[in-house]
Amino acid sequence: MTLQALFDKDPALISDTEIDQIVNSMREARRLWALEESSAKTQGRKPNPHAAKLPPIDLDELEIKI
Amino acid sequence: MSDLLLVPVGSSAWLHNSSFQSDAPVQLAWDSTSLRLMMECPRKYYYTMIEGWRAKHESVHLTFGLLYHAALEEYDRARALGLDHTAGLRSAVRLALSSSKDFRSDLPQKNRLTLIRSIVWYLDAFPAETDPAKTVILANGQPAVELSFRLLIPGTELTLCGHLDRLVEYAQNYYWLDHKTTKSTLSAEYFLKYSPDAQVSLYTVGGQIVYGHKLLGGIIDAAQLAVNFTRFLRGFTHRTPGQLDEWLGNAKQWIDLAHHYAQQEDSLETSAWPMNEMSCDKFNGCPFRSVCSRDPAVREIYLQADFHKVVWDPLRTREV
C-alpha cells in the first residue's frame, strides 16, 4: 500500500503492520536527510532541502482527501 | 488534550470562562499565554482573552503543536508502562493519525504528513534508552507527563497555573521539558528568547512546587519544521531563586494593570484597553494588526472575516 493510501485510510482500521510501514517510510526519509546534511557539510554547501522528499505523497491531494 | 474549544460567533463581546470573575472581565487564574498577551499589548489581551478572537491561520499552529505534544506524551506514557521503543512509537503514530484525521492546513510545513514525520524523527533521535533526560516516575507510579499545576499568590485571590509537558531527571538535577515547533532555522541563538520569558519562569515556579530548588529550569526540545525535513535542537534554560522572585513580582504588576483596565466602566469596549503600537511588528507580527490598522468603525467586520471565537481557559487541566 502506498504512503498516500495509508494516510487516507481510516485511522481506526489501520493495522500495526501498516503503522510500521509509515514509520519505515519516515525513517527512510530521515536517512536520506542525514546523508544529505552530512554530504553538504563535507562539501561546504547548504543541504538540498528536497533531498528527503517523500515521493508517493501528493500534499495537495492529501489535504483534500483526509 | 486541548485547552481550545471552538465556539460559534455570538453577539456577546465577552467570551466568559472559569478563569474570570463571574461579573466582570477580571481574570483571576493566569497562565503564561494570558500573561504574555497582556505583556505584549493590552488590546491584544482584550481581543484574545476577553472577546475570545483567534486568527484562523493561527489555529493551525496551535493545533499542530497540540497534536505533536499529545503524540510525544503518548510515547512517554507507553514507555513508562514498560512498552519498548517500537511499541511506544507505534502507539504515538497511531494516536497522531487518529487525532489529526480532521486537521486541515494550508501550510506546507505543518500538515498531517509533517506531523507524523516529525514524531518519528524526534522519537528516533531521542529514544528513551539513550536520551539522558529520563522521565520522572511520580510516587503514584505514573510518569510525570502533562502535569497541571496551580499556585495561589499569597495574600491575593490570584492563581498562576500551567501545564508541564514532562518532568525529567538530567545529570542528577530536575528540569521540566517542553517541545517547541518553529519554521526558523535552529541554532544556539534560538534559545536566547527564552530568557527572560514568562512561560519558562512560570513553568519553573510550577516545577518547583514538586521539586523545590532541585528543579533548576527547563529543557526545550525545539523542532524546525521544513517542507521536507525536520531538524531538532535541545536547549537548556535556568532560573535562580532571585530571578523567580523578581518574575513573580513583575507578573503581579502586569495582572494589576489588567485588573485596572477590567474594572473600568467601559471595560467591555476596546477603547479601555490601549494598543501597544511598539508590539505590532514583533512576535512574528501581531495577528490583530490587520484589525487595529482599520478605522474603529469597521474593525468588527475584519474580526468576523479573519478570526473565529475560541475559549482559552487556563484552568482546564490535562491530567488523565
Task: Enter the ipTM.
Answer: 0.83
Which residue among A33, A49, A59 places its CB closest to the CB of B111? A59
**Dist. CA B311–CA B3, nearest whole Å:** 8
Three-class DSSP labels, chain A: CCHHHHHHCCHHHCCHHHHHHHHHHHHHHHHHHHHHHHHHHHHCCCCCCCCCCCCCCCHHHHHHHC
Of B89, B108, B112, the CB nearest to A66: B112
For an interface test with A, which of B97, B101, B119 has the most A Cβ atoms less than 10 Å from its Cβ?
B97
Q: What are phi and psi of B108, to 5 degrees?
A: -65, -20
Contact A20 B90 (CB under 8 A): yes
Inter-chain touch B117–A63, beta carbons under 8 Å: no
Contacts of residue B269, defined as CB under 8 A and 6 or more positions apart, other chains included, come to none
- CA distance linking residue A56 with residue A25, whole number of Å: 10
pLDDT of the residue at B1: 41
Closest CA to B68 of B103, B3, B116, B9: B116
Q: Which residues of B touch A (CB under 8 A)?
A: 86, 89-90, 93-94, 97-98, 100-106, 108, 111-113, 116-117, 120-121, 124, 226-229
CA distance B158 to B69: 28
Do B79 and B88 contact (CB within 8 A), yes or no? yes
Q: Which amino acid is at A44?
A: G
Burial B124-137 (b: 16+ CB within 10 A, else e): ebbbbeebebebbe
**Which of A24-33, B55-64, B160-169 has the weakest average pLDDT?**
B55-64
Strand partners, B145: B166
Residues facing B219 on adjacent strands: B177, B236
**CB–CB of B116 and A29 under 8 A?**
no
**Nearest 5°: CA angle at A8, between A7 and A11?**
75
Q: What is the pLDDT of residues B183-202, one digit of tens each?
A: 889 999 999 999 999 999 99
Cβ atoms of B4 and B314 closer than 8 Å: no
State which residue of chain A sits closest to B109, comparing Cα positions.
Answer: A59
Question: Rounded to whole angstroms, how far apart are CA atoms B200 and B54?
Answer: 23
Tens-digit pLDDT profile for residues B235-267:
999 999 999 999 999 999 999 999 999 999 888
Residue of A nearest to B104 (CA): A63
Contact B149, B209 (CB under 8 A): yes
pLDDT tens digits along B27-50: 999 999 999 999 999 999 999 999
